[in-house]
């Protein structure tokens, strides 16, 4: 099985797991390069990303950029990387020869699904079913974007950030709950990338509970406090998929102590 998709990212990253799970189910080889978030300052961001020594960093000053969205200080991104990834963010996906950049985790996951012969992962080549799956992924993207802002602002929470996240959570999970009322899976009768994206992003959000102390100290409650009770179908669906071998391969232990 030859490499189809390459991803550079901080690790571990539930957003990368979307593509890895899709690749495992769809028999597509996905190669991942990366390191802990704090260590990415020591990497050259590129298709052929590599960790560099302090001496080598001195030799590539011309690639130095200022970090954005969660990264502080200097980062080293090649001109080619920024040409392929104009927003300069991770996870950063590439096709097998690095000539095309793919950004946003759901889009990278779609590329993996499209590279697979297991067409059921992405609507069996039916444009209407694919668009229905895309609708769930678009709603998922809004939810995950709000979560990203929420996490970055946890140490200085205010009503605006908290209420935006609470509304995004209720809207997205409420829609998933409705979808699961009429089908075994989110977009119909079989598993698709809409389910995979749901599991990875909601699992990451539920780790909000690890930050209970800092949230409570600022006068707020855990938003997902009653997830199991308020959204029983979504909870059951999450746990059913999370416990499957293809998900456990990458997510094992991630929700230990968080959910039952």
User: What pLDDT digit, counting tens, does each position of 19-60 carry?
Assistant: 999 999 999 999 999 999 999 988 999 999 999 886 676 778
- Mean pLDDT calculated for residue range 6-20: 97
* Tokens matching residue 222: 């855990």
Q: What is the pLDDT of residue 252?
A: 96
pLDDT(9) > 80: yes
What average pLDDT does the segment 100-110 reach? 98
Which residue segments constitute the domains of the chain, with CATH numbers given? 3-114 (3.40.30.10), 123-251 (1.20.1050.10)
- Decide: 63 and 44 in contact? Cβ < 8 Å: yes
Q: What is the pLDDT of residue 2?
A: 59
Average of per-residue pLDDT across 228-249: 97
| Contact of 147 with 201, CB cutoff 8 Å | yes
Percent of the chain with pLDDT over 90: 85
pTM tops 0.75, yes or no: yes
pLDDT above 70 covers a percentage of the chain that reads 95
- Per-residue pLDDT at 58: 72
In contact, 49 and 231? CB cutoff 8 Å: no
Report strand pairing: 74-77 vs 43-45: parallel
Angle formed by the axes of helices 105-114 and 127-152, nearest 10°: 150
- pLDDT (0 to 100) of residue 106: 98
Q: What is the pLDDT of residue 69?
A: 62
Strands (E), 60-119: 64-66, 74-77, 92-95, 101-103
Q: What is the mean pLDDT of residues 60-68?
A: 80
CA torsion angle for 192, 17, 238, 123 (degrees, to 10)?
-10
Computed over every residue of the chain, the mean pLDDT equals 93
Q: Which residues of 151-161 are buried (b: 16+ CB within 10 A; e: fewer)?
A: eeeeeebeeeb
User: What is the rounded distance in angstroms from the CA atom of residue 196 to the CA atom of residue 242?
Assistant: 9
- pLDDT (average), residues 185-189: 95
Ranges 1-10, 82-91, 134-143, 151-160: which has the least confidence: 1-10
Those residues whose C-beta lies under 8 Å from the C-beta of residue 73, and which sit 6 or more positions away, are 41, 66, 67
Instruction: Name the β-bridge partners of 94.
Output: 6, 101
- pLDDT (0 to 100) of residue 74: 84
The pLDDT, as a whole number, for residue 260 is 61
Give residue 72's pLDDT. 67
pLDDT of amino acid 73: 72
- Range in 17-21, 66-70, 202-206 the model is least confident about: 66-70
Q: Does the bond joining 12 to the residue before it have cis omega, within 30 degrees of 0?
A: yes
- Confidence class of residue 198 from pLDDT cuts 50, 70 and 90? very high
Calpha distance 170→173 (Å, rounded): 6
| pLDDT exceeds cutoff 90 at 145 | yes
Neighbours of 95 (CB within 10 A): 17
Find tokens 């977009």 and name the residue: 187
| CA–CA separation, 28 and 97 (whole Å) | 15
Give the mean model confidence (pLDDT) for residues 70-88.
Answer: 89
Gap between the Cα atoms of 144 and 164, Å rounded? 12
Query: Does residue 221 register a pLDDT over 70?
Result: yes
């Amino acid at each position: 099985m030859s490499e189809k998709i390459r991803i550079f990212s901080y690790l571990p990253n539930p957003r990368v797991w979307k593509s890895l799970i899709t690749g495992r189910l769809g028999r597509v080889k996905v190669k991942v390069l990366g390191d802990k978030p704090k260590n990415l300052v020591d990497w050259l961001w590129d298709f052929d990303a590599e960790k560099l020594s302090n001496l080598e960093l001195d030799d590539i000053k011309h690639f130095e950029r200022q970090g954005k969205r969660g990264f502080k200080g200097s980062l080293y991104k090649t001109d080619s990387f920024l040409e392929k990834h104009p927003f300069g963010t991770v996870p950063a996906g590439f096709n097998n020869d690095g000539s095309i950049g793919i950004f946003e985790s759901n889009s990278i996951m779609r590329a993996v699904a499209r590279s697979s012969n297991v067409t059921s992962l992405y609507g069996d080549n039916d444009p209407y079913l694919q668009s229905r799956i895309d609708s769930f992924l678009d709603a998922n993207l809004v939810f995950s974007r709000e979560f990203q802002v929420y996490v970055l602002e946890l140490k200085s929470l205010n009503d605006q950030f908290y209420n935006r996240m609470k509304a995004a959570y209720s809207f997205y999970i409420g829609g998933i709950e409705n979808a699961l009322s009429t089908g075994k899976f989110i977009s119909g009768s079989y598993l698709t990338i809409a389910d995979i994206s749901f599991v990875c992003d909601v699992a990451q959000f539920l780790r909000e509970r690890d930050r209970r102390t800092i949230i409570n100290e600022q006068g707020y409650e855990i938003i997902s406090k009653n997830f199991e009770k308020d959204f029983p179908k979504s909870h059951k669906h999450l746990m059913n998929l999370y416990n499957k071998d293809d998900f456990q391969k990458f997510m094992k232990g991630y929700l230990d102590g968080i959910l039952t």
